Every structure is written in structure tokens, then in C-alpha cells.
């Protein structure tokens, strides 16, 4: 059985230890991280790269024209998705910072539309706003490390978005998993952040398996299928 980790940051590892039969999507978030992700994707057959500029990267940029240069780089690569991108009101606090986040998020959505690629969304304290914005784009959407409430999750699923479960347990997450159901779930480690390494994908699998009362094999199989369809690979 193949295990599909939809979100990790392999550029942050000195030595990458893979588990057997794993596909991993390494995600960029800055121009530098995007460049590294591309290199890593070239080395490992089981690693795909997603490229994007995350909200926290642009908080204090005085001049956003540099972002267009970063976009040019992305256009010349072959990412399987645009990500991670989104809005983050935990880090973005001032009017200027929030304005920057919003402008860059729009640029990233237009880029995804132009390249006909799915998007990997990072949102923190901004779930409803992000979901409402995404509804207006006809893009396949994956909500990475979903941390919103049950109602936002239901709205996302109604619009065919995928919810990605990291290796961190919570009562709210359990409820969200039950509401959403296996059909709209995928798994991730977000390593080395939420998960320490790629082995932590087993924790994500067990969180879903516990919440839904289905076998871990079933979770592996269905999340693999969901991710494969989403990324179109």
C-alpha cells in the first residue's frame, strides 16, 4: 500500500529518511524554499514539489514587485500544485501586513488558474474568508493542516475541497473528521513542523482511523486515492 503525505518541507532536513512506499509533496513557501524544493524533487522519484509564496513570507515586504519575479521562476518549473499559499492572521497583524498577504494570495490564485494547477492552502484565523474567496475560483483545493471550526469544514466539503489531517490530535479535529468523512480527507506530516519526520504520517492515519472507526489500511487506501486524484498523478 502506498502512503501519500500531501504536505512536508523536505528542504528543512539535513538527511531525509523515507518510509517504504511513500509519496511526499514537498512544499515551498518562499522563493528560496521553492528553489530547494525543485532540487529535491529532481533527486527523489517519490517526491513531488508544490511551489508558492506563503502569507508569512510577504508580511514586511515594502515592494511587492519582487513577487512577480518569484512567480516567473515558478512558471518555469513543473510543480504539481501551487502552495503553500493563503492568509494568516496569526502572523499578519497590521493593516500593511494584511494588505500584502491579500495581494499575494490573489496573485497565487491567478497563477494556479493560469497554470491549471490545484492549490494547497495555509490559513490561520482566516478560514471563512479563505474558503469564501476560493469558492469564486474553479480550482481544486486542499486545506492544509486544517484548524478551523466544524461549520467552515462543512462549507469547504460542500465545495469539494479536501481537508488535510496533520499528526496532531484534538477533540475538535475528531469532530471535523467525522463531519467530513473519508471521501474528503487526506493526510500530511507538515514535517519538520507539526510532525517531526515523515514517519509521523502513521499518527495522522491513526487519528482518522480512531475517529471514524475504520481500519488504518482503509485510511491509507482512500487518502492515497483522494490525493492521487487531486494532484492528477
Percent helix / strand / coil, the chain, rounded to 5? 50, 20, 35
Residue 162 contacts residue 230 (beta carbons within 8 Å) = yes
For residues 217 and 132, give the distance between their C-alpha atoms in angstroms, rounded to a whole number: 34
The stretch near Zn ion (CB under 5 A) out of 91-99, 159-167, 175-183, 189-197 is: 189-197
Q: Cβ of residue 97: shortest distance to Zn ion, in angstroms?
A: 19
Residue 224 contacts residue 201 (beta carbons within 8 Å) = no
Interaction mask 22-61, Zn ion, x per CB under 5 A: ----------------------------------------
Name which of 82 and 212 has its Cβ closer to Zn ion.
82
Q: What is the DSSP letter of 60?
A: T
Q: Cβ of residue 27: shortest distance to Zn ion, in angstroms?
A: 5
Residue 208 contacts residue 177 (beta carbons within 8 Å) = yes
For residues 107 and 92, give the distance between their C-alpha atoms in angstroms, rounded to a whole number: 17
Name which of 33 and 156 has its Cβ closer to Zn ion.
33
Residue 159 contacts residue 135 (beta carbons within 8 Å) = yes
Name which of 190 and 220 has its Cβ closer to Zn ion.
190
The stretch near Zn ion (CB under 5 A) out of 100-108, 135-143, 153-161, 188-196 is: 188-196
Q: What is the DSSP letter of 18?
A: P
The stretch near Zn ion (CB under 5 A) out of 57-65, 74-82, 162-170, 186-194 is: 186-194
- Give first-to-last CA distance, the chain, whole Å: 16
Bridge partners (DSSP) of residue 23 are 4
Name which of 190 and 200 has its Cβ closer to Zn ion.
190
For residues 199 and 103, give the distance between their C-alpha atoms in angstroms, rounded to a whole number: 36
Name which of 11 and 190 has its Cβ closer to Zn ion.
190
User: Residue 222 is inside which H or E element, if any?
Assistant: helix 216-231
Q: How many binding residues for Zn ion (CB under 5 A)?
A: 1
Name which of 127 and 190 has its Cβ closer to Zn ion.
190
Q: How far are the Cα atoms of 32, 56, 203, 231 from residue 79, in angstroms, in the given order?
A: 15, 21, 27, 10
Q: Cβ of residue 122: shortest distance to Zn ion, in angstroms?
A: 6
The stretch near Zn ion (CB under 5 A) out of 62-70, 154-162, 171-179, 183-191 is: 183-191
The stretch near Zn ion (CB under 5 A) out of 15-23, 152-160, 185-193, 218-226 is: 185-193
Interaction mask 190-209, Zn ion, x per CB under 5 A: x-------------------
Name which of 188 and 220 has its Cβ closer to Zn ion.
188
- Name the residues that contact Zn ion, by CB under 5 A: 190
Amino acid at each position: 500500500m502506498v502512503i501519500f503525505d500531501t504536505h512536508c518541507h523536505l528542504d528543512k532536513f539535513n538527511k531525509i529518511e523515507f518510509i517504504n512506499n511513500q509519496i511526499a509533496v514537498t512544499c515551498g513557501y518562499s522563493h528560496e524554499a521553492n528553489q530547494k524544493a525543485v532540487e529535491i524533487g529532481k533527486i527523489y522519484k517519490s517526491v513531488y514539489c508544490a511551489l508558492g509564496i506563503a502569507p508569512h513570507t510577504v508580511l514586511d515586504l515594502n515592494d511587492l514587485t519582487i513577487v512577480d519575479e518569484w512567480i516567473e521562476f515558478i512558471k518555469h518549473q513543473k510543480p504539481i500544485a501551487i502552495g503553500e499559499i493563503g492568509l494568516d492572521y496569526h502572523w499578519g497583524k497590521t493593516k500593511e501586513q494584511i494588505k500584502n498577504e491579500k495581494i499575494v494570495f490573489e496573485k497565487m490564485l491567478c497563477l494556479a488558474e493560469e497554470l491549471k494547477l490545484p492549490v494547497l492552502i495555509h490559513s490561520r484565523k482566516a478560514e471563512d474568508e479563505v474558503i469564501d474567496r476560493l469558492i469564486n475560483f474553479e480550482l481544486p483545493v486542499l486545506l492544509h493542516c486544517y484548524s478551523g471550526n466544524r461549520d467552515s469544514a462543512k462549507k469547504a466539503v460542500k465545495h469539494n475541497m479536501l481537508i488535510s489531517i496533520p499528526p496532531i490530535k484534538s477533540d475538535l479535529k475528531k469532530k471535523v473528521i467525522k463531519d467530513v468523512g473519508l471521501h474528503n480527507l487526506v493526510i500530511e506530516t507538515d514535517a519538520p513542523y507539526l510532525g517531526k519526520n515523515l514517519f509521523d504520517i502513521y499518527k495522522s492515519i491513526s487519528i482518522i482511523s480512531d475517529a471514524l472507526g475504520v481500519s488504518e489500511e482503509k485510511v491509507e487506501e482512500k487518502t492515497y486515492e483522494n490525493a492521487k486524484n487531486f494532484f492528477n498523478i
